[in-house]
Amino acid sequence: MTVVPRQDIPSIGEVLVDGRTIDLGEQRDFRRNDTLARFLPEDSRLSLSWTHLPAGRTLEPHVHPTASMILVTQGSGRVVGQTEAEIGEGDAVLVPAGCSHGFEGGGEKGLFALSVQFEGAGLYEDPADARVRIADRATSLDELMAYNERRLAAHVDIPFFRLLRDGALYDEAARGVFLDLLQSWSATFQRLMFLRQGLCSREPFEGVYRQHLAEEYGHDGLLTPAVTGKRRRDPVVEATGTWFLNRIISFDELEKTALVHLVLETSADAFHTEAAKLFADDELLAPYFGIHSDHDEGHAELGVELVSGQHPRTYLRLHEVLEESWDMLEAMLDRMATLVLAERG
């Protein structure tokens, strides 16, 4: 029989991940001790680590690719991240793979715990190749919506929105280009709606898509009377519009929902609400902007329920969809703003 003192297990206090240092407090992986490594079976590959987070120290929210069980052996602290809760001696914290989580040391001595993983290498068994990722992407609905709100807050200050505030649209030539480009995008969005409806036969998505299409049908025609002259074509605007159509073909239903409702309709709600005030007295434009101002907020909210209750890994994927979709939408709108301002006298 052998006794292995805790202090004989090599300790690490931090790891470097993507150029950032993660403060671990004290972390002692059993397999970094030769005696324990020989004793623990390789076939089941159970991983065990003593951990200690001193009082007042925080292990920032992060994500592991495997499930963990944290057994609090002494002291107290707090779980932070996707779930927030006070924890103390004897508590077990169950962390699914892909779940954003962190810890805060509490009390006088902090938080002491045994960290257990059930497959693969220990999380920090090899500090140079730690199985950890900083939680900079959403792994829950709340985190996904928080990211979307941050994107929207920045989105409403892009040049396309500033056209509504800086007087550029009082110039007749600039206004003509603005309306022409807006009509082109409105027609593309109508095709997107039909395409999405035609490719879906799965509830509850089909019912939501049908309701959305019924409320959007023909709205592009409301803008037609205000658009005069020959249609302008721009390869960048057309290419980015086609990107959205292609994603409706290649995305699954959750991804389509994120793109259409959480990005396009969220942007449209903000834009049309502001534009409706600017064009309230214009008999040709007021109907178009007014009806969108009334409906777009509800259309954005349609998507939230559909993407709720998903696995953390699904939210990671939807975060990527949102990021890519916001970037493409803003690339298109930036190009539109450039074309409008080029016509300004």
Please report the DSSP string for 12-81 in residue order.
EEEEEETTEEEEEEEEEEGGGSHHHHHHS-TTT--EEEEEEE-TT-EEEEEE-SS-EEEEEEEEEEEEEE
pLDDT of residue 340: 94
Contact 104, 85 (CB under 8 A): no
pLDDT along the chain (345 residues), means of 10: 84 87 90 88 84 92 88 94 87 87 93 91 87 75 90 95 91 88 89 91 87 73 61 89 97 95 94 83 70 57 86 85 97 96 83
Question: Distance between CA 15 and CA 84 in Å, rounded?
Answer: 24
CATH 1.20.910.10 domain position(s) in the chain: 141-343
Q: Which long-range contacts (CB under 8 A, 24 or more apart) does 227-236 make?
A: 227/176, 227/179, 227/180, 227/183, 228/176, 229/176, 229/180, 231/180, 231/183, 231/184, 232/177, 232/180, 232/181, 232/339, 234/181, 234/335, 234/339, 236/331, 236/332, 236/335
For CATH 2.60.120.10, the residue range(s) in the chain are 6-134
Distance CA 133, CA 63 (A): 5
- Predicted confidence at residue 297, as pLDDT, reads 54
According to the model, what pLDDT value does residue 142 have?
87
Which DSSP symbol is given to 335?
H
Please give the pLDDT value at position 232: 77
Residues 141-343, CATH architecture: Up-down Bundle (1.20)
Domain 6-134 has CATH 2.60.120.10: yes
pLDDT of residue 291: 64
